[in-house]
Amino acid sequence: MTQTSENVTWLTQEAYNQLKAELEYLSGPARTEIAKKIEAAREEGDLRENGGYHAAKEEQGKQELRVRQLTQLLDNAKVGEAPADNGVVEPGMVVKIAFDGDEDDTLTFLMASREYASTDIETYSPQSPLGAGVNGKKVGDDAEYELPNGKKASVKILEAKPYTG
């Protein structure tokens, strides 16, 4: 679970370890693999028309960007505990909302940094319009957020429980 305030990102120990392992892989074995791909493609001849070379260089660029992102994230990370089970919407909570108070039109999501996005549950960051609108609200509260078209949408907080993985 992550909680971002200013430049600090709060991570559980598990999330920190997972991101650290990804960084170590990308900084070591993955760099070696991409360098070998680039070298093999370079040996094929004319680089202007060498699709394999350009694809490998693009992959290398994306990989290096991810290394910088992870380094910055982990440098500013504070390891802490999951949030309290107190019904307050905050990073690390699984939140269930009803759109326009209609309890048949609901959405359940994890409020967390995109770095902690899971395939098991939709993730909204606290900086997203919906995340910012519900952050700090309690179960039973109404919240408002801005849609991409500039209109306002209202939701009711139905549940807020700590994410258990």
* Three-class secondary structure of residue 75 per DSSP: helix
Confidence check: pLDDT of 93 > 50: yes
Mean pLDDT, residues 86-113 taken together: 86
Per the prediction, the chain carries an average pLDDT of 84
Region class of 107: left (phi > 0), else alpha (psi between -120 and 50), else beta: beta
- Alpha-carbon distances, residue 164 vs 38, 84, 105, 107 (angstroms): 42, 12, 24, 18
- Alpha-carbon distances, residue 124 vs 58, 59, 77, 84 (angstroms): 28, 27, 19, 19
State residue 33's pLDDT score.
95
Q: What's the CA gap between 147 and 100, in Å, rounded? A: 13
CATH architecture of 93-162: Roll (3.10)
Domain spans in the chain, listed from the N-terminal domain onward: 2-79, 93-162
Task: Band the pLDDT of 155: cuts 50, 70, 90.
Answer: very high
CATH architecture of 2-79: Orthogonal Bundle (1.10)
Give the side-chain half-sphere CA count within 13 A for 63: 19
Task: Band the pLDDT of 118: cuts 50, 70, 90.
Answer: low
Question: How do residues 7-66 score in pLDDT, each as one tens digit?
Answer: 556 677 777 888 899 999 999 999 999 999 999 988 887 777 888 888 999 999 999 999
State residue 101's pLDDT score.
65
Confidence check: pLDDT of 6 > 60: no
User: What pTM did the predictor assign?
Assistant: 0.58
Confidence check: pLDDT of 156 > 60: yes
